[in-house]
Amino acid sequence: DQQVKQNSPSLSVQEGRISILNCDYTNSMFDYFLWYKKYPAEGPTFLISISSIKDKNEDGRFTVFLNKSAKHLSLHIVPSQPGDSAVYFCAASPSGTYKYIFGTGTRLKVLA
């Protein structure tokens, strides 16, 4: 039972353009959502998060949008840079648990 889904295994974007990574979830008890970035042979690195009481959080080039009614969140990267090429994981935490449930990841390739 995959509670956090990333339906696009890969995405290619030109340098300077916008990258949009999507994530869907099924559990309405999730109240905190995170995005992690992972380079080969390294552990995931925290990127940005959003609480369920918000619908948008921005940090520099990275913006996360949350649509609770659709149980959907997205990560926007503008402008995309070659160094952004990595696997991006969406994660969600059920209320009060501090437990993180991960999606399967989307491999982003930013073309120079």
Partner 1 sequence: EAGVAQSPRYKIIEKRQSVAFWCNPISGHATLYWYQQILGQGPKLLIQFQNNGVVDDSQLPKDRFSAERLKGVDSTLKIQPAKLEDSAVYLCASSPPRGVGTEAFFGQGTRLTVV
Interface residues toward partner 1, by CB under 8 A: 4, 6, 32, 34, 36, 41-46, 49, 89, 93, 97-105
Contact between 23 and 90 (Cβ < 8 Å): yes
The distance of closest approach from Cβ of residue 23 to partner 1 in the complex, given in angstroms and rounded to an integer, is: 11
Q: Residue 86 CA to chain centroid, in angstroms?
A: 12
The distance of closest approach from Cβ of residue 39 to partner 1 in the complex, given in angstroms and rounded to an integer, is: 10
- CA distances for 79 relative to 11, 36, 76, 83, angstroms: 15, 18, 9, 11
The distance of closest approach from Cβ of residue 9 to partner 1 in the complex, given in angstroms and rounded to an integer, is: 8
DSSP code, position 97 = T
Beta carbon nearer to partner 1, 8 or 79? 8
Beta carbon nearer to partner 1, 19 or 93? 93
Give me 101's structure tokens.
Answer: 């449930």
Beta carbon nearer to partner 1, 17 or 58? 58
